[in-house]
Amino acid sequence: MLALDLELVKHGADPFKREPGWSLELARQGHFQWACKRCIQSSRAIKARPWLQTWDGFDPIYAFADQNLKCAGCDRDFSFTAGDQQFWYEEKAWSISNYPKQCLSCRRKKRRREKKTR
């Protein structure tokens, strides 16, 4: 059993509640979000706590790293930072299938429009 699996069990999560065929090799091929020890030690990635995440049939996230996304509102690139991911998925417990579709500027504009219509 991996050390992370033991952590999952310790916190009441089921490490075996994964899709059939889960393996570290698949993770290395990019099927899972994880990071090597060197990336975590150098702060390029943040070690995740999968027992705090809402999986919804998806495999847990083992490490967070900055992701570049394209805004659906303005079509510009924006960063979904490792810290933001950790907040969304572990503090707010949003499903790991969710991710921001818009940059912060577009989200703020949308909130202002919605506030005016109330």
pLDDT tens for each residue of 12-32: 655 555 544 445 555 556 556
Residue % of the chain over a pLDDT of 70: 71
pLDDT at residue 80 in the model: 95
CB neighbour class for 37 (10 Å; exposed up to 12, middle 13-18, buried from 19) = exposed
Contacts of 63 (CB under 8 A, 6+ apart): 33, 34, 35, 39, 40, 45, 46, 47, 48
Q: What is the pLDDT of residues 28-55, one digit of tens each?
A: 565 566 677 788 888 888 988 888 888 8
pLDDT at residue 92 in the model: 94
Q: What is the pLDDT of residues 64-94, one digit of tens each?
A: 999 999 999 999 999 999 999 999 999 999 9
pLDDT at residue 22 in the model: 47
pTM: 0.70
